[in-house]
Amino acid sequence: MSKGPQKIRGTQDIWGEAADRFQAVVETFDRVRRLYGFRRVEMPVFEATQVFARSIGETTDIVSKEMYSFEDRGGDSLTLRPEFTAGICRAYLSEGWQQLAPVKIATHGPAFRYERPQKGRYRQFHQLDAEIIGAGEPAADVEIIALGDQLLRELGISARVELKLNTLGDPATRDAWRGALVEHFRARRSDLSEESRDRLEKNPLRILDSKEHQDWPIVDSAPTVDDYLTPEAADYFARVTAGLDSAGVSWTRDPRLVRGLDYYRHTAFEFVTEDLGAQSAVIAGGRYDGLIESLGGPPTPAVGWAAGIERLSMLIEPPAAAKVDAALIPLGEQAEQAAAGIAADLRRAGIACEMAYRGNMKKRMQKADSSGARYAIIVGEDELARGEAGVKDLASGEQRSVPLTGLAEAVRAK
């Protein structure tokens, strides 16, 4: 057999049990977001490159190394979305959603980053995304985190996932803390990894989540945000934690949890697990009150999160196989012609029906058994002439004749 073209590195063909897991995550997300009043939106897969360059930050690895950008025939620079938030904020401005503020919206779909493929990480990957735009109250932070917590509960994995929580404070807090961190790291610059020395000039808060072992002792002795919290920022965080406690959402304080970009404020959080090897975030988010302003809009509070569908899919139990009510077994040319109509009538009546297309009676019965169907509906030319079909209970082996017009009721009633 010719191998033919191969899939592109870092992409995946999702089928079988993996596709069932994927769909279970998406269906659970859709059910839970409705409970919280989040409306579904569909977003373009590509945007003007500047939407991501301005929102994610020109100096980040995502923009400088990982984005799939291209020039279209009109000479415009476009980029496949590396995440959802920037495009949603662009739509908030360009589509006039400000009139509806606060808006609670949710979406899911593929995103694209050119990075080294590894377990649970692909160049085309899939995310769930939930955002509340136009609400600056701590209650919005509590609600968006509770949404993530309930999603994990309903997926059956909350016991294996821990919520890490931190505050980045208000702009005054962040500026003071950032200055202290720069001073701390500059004094130890020669001991930092090459990556952290680079971040020191561009994005010093990111040094706090360095994966390089040589940086860890320097990070451990770095000033924490609590030393610089304004009374207003401290009160905001206290109201978020009190709200989570009231909602029954367990959390652990992680003073090293950061978001590097300046538009992030106040709450930052990650739901993390150790069940995927190294500690991995399955949901990550925070408050980004400065983002819409950086895109040219008015100051607009916003909070949200994204979750990796692939990572969540790997953690959940395989869903039960789709139930088949009946397998239709036509025998003979006339019966095979009639079978399409019989199957269509059953499906329109809400009966899940499989068709055993080929082979002798024995092979078709084996196909019916392997489909997991409760019943086999056997239609031969004699039965067809009488306007009947044989309905066989595949568990008990009992078989009876049923009028073709009563098949749906006979299968449903049992």
Radius of gyration for the chain, computed over Cα atoms and rounded to the nearest angstrom: 28
pLDDT at position 355? 83
For the segment 188-199, the average pLDDT, to the nearest whole number, is: 88
187 lies in a domain? no
pLDDT at position 117? 66
Per-residue CA distances from 355 to 331, 332, 343, 365, 389 (Å): 12, 14, 8, 11, 14
Alpha carbon 302 to chain centroid distance? 19
Q: What is the pLDDT of residues 91-101, one digit of tens each?
A: 999 999 999 99
For the segment 36-60, the average pLDDT, to the nearest whole number, is: 86
Considering the domain architecture, whether residues 249 and 288 belong to the same structural domain is answered as yes
β-bridge partners, 273: 280
Considering the domain architecture, whether residues 149 and 25 belong to the same structural domain is answered as yes
Considering the domain architecture, whether residues 102 and 242 belong to the same structural domain is answered as yes
Task: For residue 254, give both structure tokens.
Answer: 């992680």
- Whether residue 2 is predicted with pLDDT greater than 60 in this model: the reply is no
191 lies in a domain? no
Considering the domain architecture, whether residues 331 and 298 belong to the same structural domain is answered as no
Secondary structure element (H or E) that encloses residue 275, with its range = none
Domain final position from 295, 315, 335: 315
For residue 302, give the CATH number of its domain.
3.30.930.10
Residue type, 347: R
pLDDT at position 61? 63
pLDDT at position 275? 86
Considering the domain architecture, whether residues 249 and 270 belong to the same structural domain is answered as yes
Domain final position from 315, 347, 382: 315
pLDDT at position 149? 98
- Whether residue 268 is predicted with pLDDT greater than 90 in this model: the reply is yes
Percentage of the chain exceeding pLDDT 70: 95
**Residue 114: exposed, middle, or buried by beta-carbon count in 10 A (0-12, 13-18, 19+)?**
middle
Per-residue CA distances from 229 to 25, 222, 263, 371 (Å): 38, 15, 17, 61
Look at residues 139, 109, 104 and name the one whose alpha carbon lies nearest to residue 127.
109
**CB under 8 Å to 362, separation ≥6 — which residues?**
none
Q: Using an 8 Å Cβ cutoff, are 178 and 204 in contact?
A: yes
What is the spatial distance between Cα 336 and Cα 329, in angstroms, rounded to a whole number? 8
β-bridge partners, 375: 326, 393
70 lies in a domain? yes
Where are the extended beta strands (E) located within 55-172? Answer: 69-71, 77-80, 103-112, 124-133, 162-167
pLDDT at position 413? 60
pLDDT at position 64? 64
Q: What is the pLDDT of residues 116-147, one digit of tens each?
A: 766 657 899 999 999 999 999 999 999 999 99
Considering the domain architecture, whether residues 266 and 373 belong to the same structural domain is answered as no
Q: Where are the alpha helices (DSSP H) in 192-272?
A: 194-202, 216-220, 231-246
Residue 234: helix, strand or coil by DSSP? helix
Considering the domain architecture, whether residues 58 and 102 belong to the same structural domain is answered as yes
In which order are the strands placed within the sheet that holds 375-379? 353-355, 326-330, 375-379, 388-393, 399-403
Number of domains observed in the structure of the chain: 2
Domain final position from 315, 345, 367: 315
356 lies in a domain? yes
Q: How confident is the model at residue 332 (pLDDT cuts 50, 70, 90)?
A: confident
Considering the domain architecture, whether residues 253 and 128 belong to the same structural domain is answered as yes
94 lies in a domain? yes
pLDDT at position 357? 67
Look at residues 141, 46, 125, 132 and name the one whose alpha carbon lies nearest to residue 89.
132
> Which residue do the tokens 């009538």 mark?
345
C-alpha torsion angle, residues 405, 410, 412, 413 (rounded to 10): 130
Considering the domain architecture, whether residues 243 and 108 belong to the same structural domain is answered as yes
119 lies in a domain? yes
CA pseudo-torsion sign 368, 371, 374, 379: negative
What is the spatial distance between Cα 409 and Cα 250, in angstroms, rounded to a whole number? 49
What is the spatial distance between Cα 222 and Cα 63, in angstroms, rounded to a whole number? 28
For residue 345, give the CATH number of its domain.
3.40.50.800
Q: What is the pLDDT of residues 357-410, one digit of tens each?
A: 676 777 777 777 777 888 989 998 898 999 999 999 988 889 999 999 999 998
pLDDT at position 195? 86
190 lies in a domain? no
Considering the domain architecture, whether residues 296 and 373 belong to the same structural domain is answered as no
Considering the domain architecture, whether residues 112 and 247 belong to the same structural domain is answered as yes
Domain that holds residue 342: 326-413
pTM greater than the 0.85 cutoff: yes
Considering the domain architecture, whether residues 332 and 402 belong to the same structural domain is answered as yes
pLDDT at position 198? 86
175 lies in a domain? no
pLDDT at position 352? 92
Q: Where are the alpha helices (DSSP H) in 95-220?
A: 138-154, 171-187, 194-202, 216-220
